[in-house]
Structure 1
Amino acid sequence: MRRAVVICPGRGTYNKPDLGSLMRLNPDKTELFQRFDAIRRAGGQDTVTELDGAATYSVARHTRGDTAAALIYAASYADFLSLKDIDVLAVTGNSMGWYTTLACAGALSAEQGFELVNTMGQMMQESLIGGQIVYPITDDTWQPDTGRRAEVMQLVARIASRADHSLALSIDLGGLLVLAGNDAGLAAFTEQAEPQGQFPLRLPNHAAFHTALQAPVALAAQNRFDPTFFAQPKRPMIDGRGAIWWPHATDTEALHRYTLGHQVTTPYDFAKAISCAAREFAPDVFIVLGPGTTLGGAVAQSLIKAGWLGMRSKQDFQTRQSETTLLTAMGRPDQRPLVTGNSPPADAIRPL
């Protein structure tokens, strides 16, 4: 049995190719999806099966916080339940993926996790404070460029010092930085940052997650969810600081404060979480739950940044990956069977 760290993806991972994937990839999870549908229906929202079963994918509809969060959680949690012959050593996630982590690790039930994700998605969408931009800080070999990172953060600081400009680090993805702020701050960065292909890239329907701008959302969430909502995890969890929450040793009030306070209003260090997972648990494989495949590169770049197994470049990672599967993305039809024991239906396969 392979030993694994499971990684839960965040916003931006359910895209056009993923439409219809809930039932195609997890046909045995109908009852689970019905339970999630009941929660959405009770709140007067479109159900996850209706959204996933739509005739066409709509950016305006499917990337909204109150839609995307529910779809991503449903896909990720279903994938977690589909793992076979895997010894899960720990669970971590990126941004919104922390909420899914709580459920996969057992600190929340499946329905509680869905309720939390759905509520936070609604709150974020209703306020929609600020936005996010993605910008690369590695070269083509995925080697960390500390000089470029320093220059980017200096530019961020200069912009943030201006009147009526807000800009800060939101997420460290290893090879990419996600920056967040108000429209003035984001516009200034877009104008002044050196173009890198498609970057700087503004993310649609994303708010200024993991910054002080989200303080009103954090307060509303703390008032909505009581500390008793959280339980002891059954598996170790690694948060956005690289801190580990251990079974039988977790202060659930502290978990409440972190999840609905610190995690909402301060930067999320995904690269550090992956580094911690590698060094503290030394798994045989890292498993990225679906939907989509967009987080795989960030995991690889974070492992390179950490120097895990002596890897220093993209070529090093590819060599390791060809020798023994170090990273498995369940959104890839060629890799999913490696951790589920089942090949996906033919109509679920999509181009890589």
Structure 2
Amino acid sequence: MKTAVVICPGRGTYSATELGYLYRHFPGPGLLATFDRMREQAGQDTLSSLDGASRYSLAKHSRGDNASALIFAATVGDFQSIAREDIEVVAVTGNSMGWYSALACGGALTSEDGFRVANTMGTLMQEALIGGQLIYPWIDEDWVPQPGRRAALLALAADIDARKDHDLTLSIDLGGMFVLAGNNAGLQAFEDAVEPTQGRFPMRLGNHAAFHSHLQRPVAARGRAVLSPDLFQQPDLPLIDGRGAIWWPEASNLSALYNYTLGQQVTNTYDFTRAITIAAREFAPDLFILTGPGATLGGAVAQSLILANWRGLDGKSSFKSIQDDQPMLVSMGMEDQRGLVT
């Protein structure tokens, strides 16, 4: 039996190629019907109708109130599809809103309550839509770390943030990428100051608010007002959060877990790189399983393992060599890899 850490993706992973993902992969109609009823009761489009649309609409499917629910459902469905007779899940982590999915996969929330949290927070963020995000790399195209470049970019962001009427801060430490959050003035100043690279960066993220920054304090407060601490319970599996802290089964302070989830997790930097580093070093799994939808987080997972010097990884070529010989990272959103773990 192989051991695995499961990684839950965040926003931006349900795109045009994922349309119909729930129809193709969700393991049972009962839970999906429950999610649909919860959406109907909230006056929202059902997941079945969104996932079953004839074409993907960026304006509709990428909205926070729709995207969060679709991604959560796809993640939980994939988690339930893992062949547990062959694979022992030893810990769960996630990126950004993937933390809500991780809480459900790890048992700290039931699937229904996890959906309630993810859908509520996605809806509140969409309603407020405070600020925005952009993404920019600090490692090179061969995934070799450039620490001087990293320091210079963080110094630039701090300089911009110090300017009058400018907000800019590190939102997600995402492997070899920085996701920056801020108001339009701060984001525009950064875009104007850096060199375009790799044909697509800096990349402004559509329908994304300034997640994981102080700008989200009103959203966090609204979340705490409508979501009860009673939703949370002791996890079944160790959970690694956006600081790299581990929440252990039967030993977690549920009040602290609630406060982190609807407080610091919303308003402070999410350190995905550290979460993966801790997952590797503390649990030493045979596999890292990235649930769907999509597989775009795979690069950030690999880069995080390189930064952790996991198994001697030092760049894209060494990762590819190990991955081609005996995969250490399985992306369930990729059909050719999904069968390795289901």
Scaled by the length of structure 1, the TM-score of the pair is 0.95
8 A contact 2:211–2:267 mirrored in 1: yes
Q: CA deviation at 1:141?
A: 1.6
Aligned to 2:235: 233
Q: CA deviation at 1:25?
A: 2.1
1:142-174 Cα shifts (integer Å, max 9, x gaps): 011111111111110111111110000000111
Deviates more, 1:121-130 or 1:150-159: 150-159
8 A contact 2:25–2:77 mirrored in 1: no
Quote the Cα distance in structure 1 between the aligned partners of 2:179 and 2:252. Answer: 29
Q: 1:275 aligns with which of 254, 273, 277?
A: 277
Letter of the 1:291 partner, please give it: P
8 A contact 1:108–1:231 mirrored in 2: yes
* 4+ residue segments displaced more than 3 Å: none
Residue identity (%): 58
Quote the Cα distance in structure 2 between the aligned partners of 1:203 and 1:30. Answer: 33
8 A contact 1:23–1:29 mirrored in 2: no
Q: RMSD of aligned C-alpha atoms?
A: 0.7
Structure 2 stretches lacking a partner, 5+ long: none
Quote the Cα distance in structure 2 between the aligned partners of 1:195 and 1:263. Answer: 30
Aligned to 1:14: 14
Q: 1:217 aligns with which of 201, 214, 219?
A: 219
Specify the SS of the correspondent of 1:287. strand
Aligned to 2:32: 33
Quote the Cα distance in structure 1 between the aligned partners of 2:338 and 2:208. Answer: 28
8 A contact 1:135–1:199 mirrored in 2: yes
Aligned to 2:96: 95
Q: CA deviation at 1:297?
A: 0.5
Aligned to 1:120: 121
Aligned to 1:263: 265
Aligned to 1:294: 296
Quote the Cα distance in structure 1 between the aligned partners of 2:272 and 2:251. Answer: 23
Q: CA deviation at 1:229?
A: 1.5
Scaled by the length of structure 2, the TM-score of the pair is 0.98
Aligned to 1:60: 59
Q: CA deviation at 1:324?
A: 1.2
Aligned to 2:175: 174
1:229-274 Cα shifts (integer Å, max 9, x gaps): 2100000000000000000100000001100000000000000000
Quote the Cα distance in structure 1 between the aligned partners of 2:228 and 2:52. Answer: 34
Quote the Cα distance in structure 1 between the aligned partners of 2:283 and 2:11. Answer: 26
Quote the Cα distance in structure 2 between the aligned partners of 1:107 and 1:293. Answer: 25
8 A contact 1:23–1:30 mirrored in 2: no
Quote the Cα distance in structure 1 between the aligned partners of 2:186 and 2:261. Answer: 26
**How many residue pairs are counted as aligned between the two chains?**
339
Q: CA deviation at 1:29?
A: 1.8
1:289-336 Cα shifts (integer Å, max 9, x gaps): 000010000000000000001111111111111221100000001000
Aligned to 2:338: 336
